[in-house]
Amino acid sequence: MLYSILRSFVKLGLNWYISDWQLRNLVLADNTNPAVIVSNHPNSFFDALVIAVHQPSQICFLARGDAFRKPWANWALRTFSMIPIYKRRDDANPDISNAFTYDECVRQLKLGRKILIFPEGISRNHFNLLPFMTNGLLSIVQRAVKMDVPIQIQPYILSYSSFDFIPKSAYLEAIPPIDSTDYLNNSEVMTSEILKKLRNEMESNMLNGPINPPKDLQGKRSWMKIPALMGYYSHNWYYQILKKKVKKKTDGTIFFDSLMFGILLFSYPLIVFILSLLIGSIAGFWWGMLIFILLPFLSYCWIQYQPIKRGEESYNRSNKLNP
């Protein structure tokens, strides 16, 4: 219940951040059987959100183990269906800790949920497919087969028009799933063959560069021109303040979209609600209701009408926030 509400909330919010969705072959994704979802990993936590809102099944996310160190963070992350995966620098006994993680993944698969894993292991705002870190994926597949869970490997391809500009285009393509039961040999799963096929399928579908936004997007949305202008004058001040602070915190790192979207997702509805209450208490209920409806509409038109900028071909950024 909570997951469905949050997914719907995030999906709605992404329409104020992404003005061009380029979705390909999503009907190929297996939404009924237990599956490990794999994807390239160009844009940090933002990637998981893009996949989750287009996958009807509940997804459990493998996340870096160091984020779970504080008790409140551990509780919050697990509440939002995240499971820790540990590297050697994150835990004194990563092999033991990860064994519990893999068992939990199989338990979730038995319940009919999906597991999302990024086999590259790292994100650097890159458009090409990096080498795989295979331990996590292969361990989950092997455990699932041993526990008689016939899982699918469901690959996706992700790309964006940029990592620095808002609004943006987002590209998501589903590749036909790989059935682990097709790779059984005397009750043993041929993980090397699965990995080889997965790598070949993903490499052959990679875009290897920023995607091109539609050429006549503004022309198709010409009716938004006036409300977009009103949205600019009523919202740009807040956007610029927030962008400046987020840029300072994420400059040279991979987290601009993740942090910017997260703050906007929770702060903007709160601001609209408070302004509506204030105006409603002063001018009356219907004026407050008008502000509550009008401000999101104007901001939506502003985002949707703006031209989409295409970013650079390659980046080399850190995966740690600035102090």
- Above 90 in pLDDT, residue 32? no
Alpha helices in 15-64 (DSSP H): 45-52
- Position 38 confidence tier, pLDDT thresholds 50, 70, 90: very high
Determine the average pLDDT of the residues in 36-52.
Answer: 93
Give the mean pLDDT of the chain. Answer: 89
pLDDT tens, position by position, 60-82: 888 777 778 788 877 877 777 88
pTM confidence score? 0.90
**Calpha distance 213→197 (Å, rounded):** 31
How does 70-106 read in b/e, with b if 16+ C-beta sit within 10 Å?
A: eeeeeeebeeebbbbbbeeebbeebeeebeebbebbb
* Residue ranges of the chain that CATH labels 3.40.1130.10: 2-205
What is 2-205's CATH number?
3.40.1130.10
Please choose, from the candidates 172, 33, 35, 225, the residue with its C-alpha nearest in 3D space to the C-alpha of residue 114: 35
- Above 90 in pLDDT, residue 31? no
- Above 80 in pLDDT, residue 320? no
- Above 70 in pLDDT, residue 128? yes
- Above 70 in pLDDT, residue 282? yes
- Above 60 in pLDDT, residue 323? no
At 156 the three-state DSSP class reads: strand
